[in-house]
Structure 1
């Protein structure tokens, strides 16, 4: 292919179309890769299939990409070991004994603060906050739908704003694989530009402080005040074994290790310069250090045998395997799109059709539509970043704003979507009907989305 044409758009468009149609991100990404190699070499569908498979395998030949994939598996092992060590129940018991909550507003603030403090994994945040707060919300007659909204809106956004977790590593791996120089610096620079994440957390705080209940939430609150706690009786499970003793130390020590090991790794790999360090190496070291600490704790506490611990590691890694597969496929799609010149073509096309200042808004809205339809923010990141990064590069623009637009759109669509796994888990943890959570959260998501859309226009005018 000697010149750029509309044909270069077909692989990512096929991936987007199949993702929207089938909601199968794996199939969609691989189909895009396959079509890309068919267009590149025009060697027939079967030879291009072999080339596509080789391209996926080749991703693991890059040390940085391989480190992020291994990190994803290690963090899965860490999370499940943490769950089964008594760490979560220990943290829950600590909060219950604090007796700080004396009214409905404080119950809401506690749920909000848990979402801020526990940033290692979105589902753990949701389950801990729901387990602790649900009885208090019932006692002070605050709607369970409000609890579901609070914990849903402080889980994924906080994981994006404090990216010392699988969310950060996943996007760091995508940026590194897409050829972004200093991917860690770009990811950190995108944090203050991640308007939806910031707005969602801030709007939740405003909602609590002002008792803001728009539309369906007002009806839910009136019903709850009358004594009708309408919900489900399924208790949210944190994944802990019932016979394990609650231990707060099992939450605090590994999490502090994770937090401290990350900058230490950056400092070491950067020869004393944190921002020159290797992000993929540092997150791998930090996750391994945290896994080592929690593993030693459960062995010394005799809450697990070495055999049980090794089985737990494998189970946790297995949980994260689908995300690792998405990451590898997304990197392979990004590679073939770069070879075809998709980003350069899109940049030339939109440069004539769309004012440059409006590109972040367009990217935000497209990512939001994909996430809403697919129900997966991670799947959206894997589809949109391989498109947005080359466009930014071709236009000579700083990539941080384009990254922030993709991440914001992914979380926005995920929050509004009734098929999002985070939305479903939030309903379960709060003990409310899923459709009630979707209905009551949608106005908040739309408000935060509208504010973010206006903000991205402003940022585009200022920065592009």
Structure 2
């Protein structure tokens, strides 16, 4: 069924209501309901049947289960590291080495670059670890969240060994653009053209050094933190991982943090970059390790596993409802509508630019990146080939658009998890970061125009 411009209404409703209500879940829910009302009227179907069927479809989807397990278990792992005192001690040790505000900001950036295997792990770990340090130097949480978020998805698509690149590689294989088992190898040729990833990550040190000034909401946040010491705005916070340390005579050690994190990273590497298996091993190791060194009782450690998982419930609820919104968009043909709108204007030189701009609109309004990759990459490859455009650059433009959505959308996974780890309301985080994401967006768009004519 052809919905035309009606397909744009649900995501627009979400964006407007999120800003007006300063709440994400409610805006997403109303946006989904709006979409299902349009579908029921347009198709003469049953609103409740459509809604429930879509909810079941999302919850039964393998990728949804994967996200819930990975995200929840990362919450468990971080909960254990926080309650052990290891995360706090690691921060204290870092604080002794970090002597200035600028060093704290660069330390956050470097840690984000180091944890590149998965954007969930990066967003959660870096925020939890660095917030005490940045608070010490009166750096607003908005600034911290900007760096954390922008070294999560953007960096994961640059380093060719991450959950993102493995997924994209599998999509390239399904499109027969890469032979079986060679998807990640072929993706190496795409990496130089993932311009949003490169530009957004490299803008961070320029902002830290003052080459690009702090402005807008970020400037207001900086003034607030410096004058009042209030690093978090008002009373608007995300649920945080606040846990009492285990009752033990052992002094907190940074090793309680470093060792579980190292095991998780190594296990993920060793098991073909499987984030779920990696974090399962990480949680199991941490449980046994803490029990062996008598850091806590069996019951205390078990309760912490569930408490950490439970702390991610709100974030997971936002993720699931955003997936339902994506399904609404798919039912209404949002992706195809945008692509069809672009086709009449296509030339081989401007194709990467038009792909990036149009698909960015989809990923920003839906908060979906991987789902868009699975749908759009198989369309873009033959389209680029048919008009003689640079196929690798066109794929890079799709990847860049997905990363922009993950980085900028106020209800994307990365935004939600960054807000969770920095204890910052995701609307405050999203709006303060948006000007910098838009700057990277503009520079990326211009780069695709230039590269399109040069290559």
TM-score normalised to the size of structure 1? 0.67
SS at 2:441's partner residue? helix
Check conservation: 2:196, 2:444, Cα contact below 8 A. yes
Taking the TM superposition and a 5 Å limit, the aligned residue runs for 1:376-387 are: 379-381=367-369
Q: Which residue number in structure 2 is paired with residue 273 of structure 1?
A: none
Return closer, same or farther for 1:46/1:303 CA change in 2, 3 Å cut-off.
same
Which of 265, 277, 284 is equivalent to 1:285?
Answer: 277
Cα deviation for residue 289 of structure 1 reads 0.9
* Whole-angstrom CA distance in 1 between matches of 2:168 and 2:322: 7
Partner Cα separation in structure 1 for residue 312 and residue 133 of structure 2 = 26
Query: d(CA) in 2 for partners of 1:213 and 1:343?
Result: 36
Q: Does 1:250 align with 2:274?
A: no
SS of the residue corresponding to residue 154 of structure 1 reads: helix
Alpha-carbon separation, structure 1, partners of 2:223 and 2:148: 26
* Deviation, structure 1 residue 195: 3.5
Question: CA separation of 1:347/1:113 partners in 2, compared to 1, >3 Å: closer, same or farther?
Answer: closer
Deviation at 1:232, TM superposition (A): 1.6
Q: Report the counterpart of residue 23 of structure 2 in structure 1.
A: none
Which deviates further from its counterpart, 385-394 or 203-212?
385-394
Distance 2:93 2:320 in 1: 40
1:231 aligns with 2:229: yes
Deviations 1:48-96 (A, max 9, x none): 4454344335425xxx654444333322222222222222112112213
Residue 110 (structure 1) aligns with:
107
Match of residue 13 from structure 1: 8
Question: C-alpha separation between the residues in 1 aligned to 2:196 and 2:439?
Answer: 10
Residue 309 (structure 1) aligns with: 301
Partner of 1:300: 292
2:357 to 362, 373, 377: 362
SS of the residue 1:232 aligns to: coil
Tell me the residue number matched to 1:241.
244
Tell me whether 1:56 sits opposite 2:55 in the alignment.
no
* Cα distance in structure 2, aligned partners of 1:39 and 1:324: 31
Shift of 1:346: 4.5
Q: How far apart, in 1, do the equivalents of 2:354 and 2:76 lie?
A: 39
TM-score by length of 2: 0.68
Superposition map of 1:7-406 within 5 A: 7=3, 10=6, 12-23=7-18, 24-29=27-32, 32=35, 43-49=45-51, 51-60=53-62, 66-97=65-96, 100-102=97-99, 105-117=102-114, 120-135=121-136, 137=137, 144=139, 148-149=142-143, 151-161=144-154, 163=156, 185=184, 193-209=193-209, 213=213, 229-232=227-230, 239-242=242-245, 245-266=251-272, 282-324=274-316, 343-344=335-336, 346-355=338-347, 356-363=351-358, 366=361, 370=365, 379-381=367-369, 388-389=376-377, 391-392=379-380, 395=383, 399-406=395-402
Q: Deviations over 1:375-424 (max 9, x none)?
A: xxxx3548865764565367366645313212124414559xxx988479
Deviates more, 1:394-403 or 1:296-305: 394-403
Change in 2 beyond 3 A, CA 1:424/1:107 = same
Q: Quote the RMSD (CA, aligned, Å).
A: 5.0
- Give the Cα–Cα distance (whole angstroms) in 2 for the partners of residues 20 and 349 of structure 1: 22
Q: Which runs of 5+ in 2 are unaligned?
A: 19-26, 385-390
Taking the aligned partners of 1:328 and 1:420, their CA distance within structure 2 comes to 12
Distance in structure 2 (CA, Å) of the matches to 1:448 and 1:421: 21
SS of the aligned residue for 2:294 comes to coil
Deviations 1:257-282 (A, max 9, x none): 2222223212xxxxxxxxxxxx6xx2
Q: Distance in 1 between matches of 2:28 and 2:289?
A: 38
> How far apart are residue 158 of structure 1 and its match?
1.7
Question: Which 10-residue stretch deviates more, 189-198 or 176-185?
Answer: 176-185
Q: Give the paired residue count.
A: 410
Give, in whole Å, the separation in 1 of the partners of 2:263 and 2:417.
29
Closer, same or farther: CA 291–321 of 1 in aligned 2, 3 Å: same
Alpha carbons of structure 1 residues 214 and 247: separation in structure 2 relative to 1, 3 Å: closer
Q: Is the 8 A contact 1:174 1:330 kept in 2?
A: no
Question: 1:315 offset after TM fit, Å?
Answer: 2.6
Contact 2:84 2:295 in 1 (8 A): yes
When residues 51 and 381 of structure 1 are mapped into structure 2, their CA distance, relative to the original with a 3 A threshold, is: same
Give the C-alpha shift of residue 133 in structure 1: 3.7
**d(CA) in 2 for partners of 1:103 and 1:44?**
60
Check the 8 A contact 2:408/2:430 in 1, yes or no: no
SS at match of 1:405: helix
**Alpha-carbon contact 1:92-1:132 (below 8 Å) kept:** yes
Structure 2 CA distance for partners of 1:212 and 1:422, relative to 1, 3 Å: same
Measure the CA separation in 1 of the matches of 2:424 and 2:369: 25
Task: Give SS of 1:155's match.
Answer: helix
| Corresponding residue number in structure 2 for 1:276 | none
SS at match of 1:304: coil
Partner of 2:21: none
Distance 2:209 2:423 in 1: 23
